[in-house]
A and B are shown apart, each in its own frame.
Chain A
Amino acid sequence: MDLLLIFISAAIVNNFVLSYFLGICPFLGVSNRLEKAFSMGVASTFVMVLAAMATWIINNWILIPFNLPFLQYVAFIIVIASLVQFVEMFIRKSSPTLYRSLGIFLPLITTNCAILGLALLSALREYNFLQSLTFGFAAGVGFTIALCIMAGIREELDLAPIPEPFKGAPITLIIAGLLALAFMGFAGLISG
């Protein structure tokens, strides 16, 4: 029940993109085609789960025993960056097909603030291992949902009669704002 709550909370109610405003750059950058958005979402989910695991281990086995929680930011950035690098190499070797479909997105994800936000939030909330794993997965799912909704709308927008000055970035930002507003509707569902 606890895990389910964490899942729904992170995926929908406190959606990383639309209510914490983390990971806005891929949200705007890679959301012009549904297919691409989905690949990006899957790749992000994958990295988020891994990052949640790795940062939990670093935080609970190294930083807390040595009384160094103030180093969380630096340590997490190092962990996430090296993890992504490693995963990229591994995928490139083991599955060229997967590498080609995720390849371009993996390096992009390294610098995605949603991943760092995820690690910091789960440390702040003192989740146990299973909880942070769920949190990571849910955050990834939420990210994918947001990206796919955005991409779906933007594909429709290509055909819509948008006034010239609003074409491109302006209408995208307006849509992003409206989506965030819509997601606020979930706010009453679960608190926390």
Chain B
Amino acid sequence: MNSIIVGLLTMGGLGLFFASVLAIASEKLKVKEDPRVEEVYEALPGLNCGACGHPGCHALAEAIVAKGDLDGLRCPPGGSASDEKIAEILGISVGAEIRKRAVIKCGGGKSLAGQRADYHGIKTCTAAQLVVGGAKACTFGCLGYGDCVTVCPFGAIRIDEEGLPKVDELKCTACGLCVQACPRKIIDLVSCANRIVVNCNSHDKGAQVRKVCKVGCIGCMICVKVAPEGYTVKDFLAKVNYDKGDAVAEPGQAKCPTKCIVKL
């Protein structure tokens, strides 16, 4: 009985002692934080996605307040909406930045691209890719199990009736999570101003591409001949020179024999 009372008193005393020390310390050692950090933090989406290159939204808020400027410290998912709010808090104006969105570089849907096997495993692209590179005959194209759909925090990607992901440009914030999630690395972040893209990711030679897909890039170089400024072809795959703009790329798009250069 006695030891219970002593035990209770001792533990109670210890608890009380530490509680009061902590209570005093939290008052005495309070750190004054710039109140704007909290406001800026509130204006950010709070996803902690890390797309800005900072460890989390709070770190970005601190960096923005410390710099007093949005230059190079933008939040990709928050986009212009959060930029404006932050600019208001800091009393500065927002510079213009062109929005980006995810572009999926594959047009080989069910009716256009062949399968080389039946796949009955786990229905994710990552799992399918692990099993000898998936069932699709084209080893570069979209597997269509929608890992990008699952990972997208904004519901901006859906799988269409052809079994290919489609990006909703209005919802996409270019956070880049789908780029990382895709085991075949066929998603790029491209400025919304660039409407013309090469809708293929295959580095196979032309003959092989023709065997497996009706809309693949065969590396024929026609686009480069028609619009030398607008395209580069490397390893049998054409790429739009995005910085040159759509006007330069336009003639190449019209002449593409497999129609793999598309206008979104």
Q: Do A and B bind each other?
A: yes
- Chain A positions within 8 Å of B, measured between CB atoms, are 58, 62-63, 66-68, 70-71, 74-75, 78-79, 82, 85-86, 89-90, 92-93, 96, 164-165
Interface centre among A70, A75, A82, A92 (most CB of B within 10 A): A82
Interface contact B130-A78, CB-CB below 8 Å: no
Interface contact B22-A82, CB-CB below 8 Å: yes
Asked if B15 is at the interface (CB within 8 A of a chain A CB), the reply is yes
Contact with A along B1-30 (1 / 0, CB 8 A): 001001100110011001101100110011
Interface contact B3-A67, CB-CB below 8 Å: yes
If A66-B6, A68-B7, A164-B130 touch, whether A58 touches B14 (CB-CB below 8 Å) is yes
| Closest residue of B by beta carbon distance from A74 | B11
Q: Select one of B10, B15, B19 contacting A68, CB under 8 A.
A: B10
Interface contact B25-A90, CB-CB below 8 Å: yes
Asked if B31 is at the interface (CB within 8 A of a chain A CB), the reply is yes
Nearest Cβ distance between residue A83 and chain B, in whole angstroms?
Answer: 8
Q: Select one of A78, A90, A92, A93 contacting B14, CB under 8 A.
A: A78
For B10, the chain A residues whose CB sits under 8 A away are 62-63, 66, 68, 71, 75
Nearest Cβ distance between residue A25 and chain B, in whole angstroms?
Answer: 20
Interface contact B6-A89, CB-CB below 8 Å: no
Interface contact B18-A68, CB-CB below 8 Å: no
For B31, the chain A residues whose CB sits under 8 A away are 92-93, 96
Interface contact B25-A68, CB-CB below 8 Å: no
Interface contact B25-A75, CB-CB below 8 Å: no
Instruction: Provide a sorted-by-A list of 13 A–B residue pairs whose CB atoms are within 8 angstroms.
Output: A62-B10, A62-B14, A63-B10, A67-B6, A68-B7, A78-B18, A79-B14, A82-B19, A86-B25, A89-B25, A90-B25, A92-B29, A93-B31
Q: Tell me, in angstroms, the Cα distance from A58 to B17 when the chains sit together.
A: 12
For A63, the chain B residues whose CB sits under 8 A away are 10
Q: Select one of B6, B15, B29 contacting A93, CB under 8 A.
A: B29
Contact with A along B33-63 (1 / 0, CB 8 A): 0000000000000000000000000000000
For A78, the chain B residues whose CB sits under 8 A away are 11, 14-15, 18
If A90-B29, A92-B31, A93-B29 touch, whether A82 touches B6 (CB-CB below 8 Å) is no
Nearest Cβ distance between residue A54 and chain B, in whole angstroms?
Answer: 10
Interface centre among B3, B19, B130 (most CB of A within 10 A): B3
Contact with A along B144-164 (1 / 0, CB 8 A): 000000000000000000000
- The 8 nearest A-B residue pairs measured at CB: A82-B18, A93-B29, A89-B29, A89-B25, A164-B130, A66-B6, A68-B7, A92-B31
Q: Tell me, in angstroms, the Cα distance from A128 to B10 when the chains sit together.
A: 22
Q: Tell me, in angstroms, the Cα distance from A189 to B21 when the chains sit together.
A: 44
List 17 extra interface pairs beyond A74-B11, A86-B21, CB under 8 A.
A62-B10, A66-B6, A67-B6, A68-B3, A68-B6, A70-B7, A71-B10, A71-B11, A78-B14, A79-B14, A82-B18, A82-B19, A89-B29, A90-B25, A92-B29, A164-B130, A165-B130
If A71-B7, A164-B130 touch, whether A89 touches B26 (CB-CB below 8 Å) is yes
Nearest Cβ distance between residue B17 and chain A, in whole angstroms?
Answer: 9
For B26, the chain A residues whose CB sits under 8 A away are 89
Q: Tell me, in angstroms, the Cα distance from A10 to B246 when the chains sit together.
A: 67
For A86, the chain B residues whose CB sits under 8 A away are 21-22, 25
For B15, the chain A residues whose CB sits under 8 A away are 78
Docked complex: B205-257 residues within 8 A CB-CB of A: none
Nearest Cβ distance between residue B82 and chain A, in whole angstroms?
Answer: 24
For A85, the chain B residues whose CB sits under 8 A away are 22
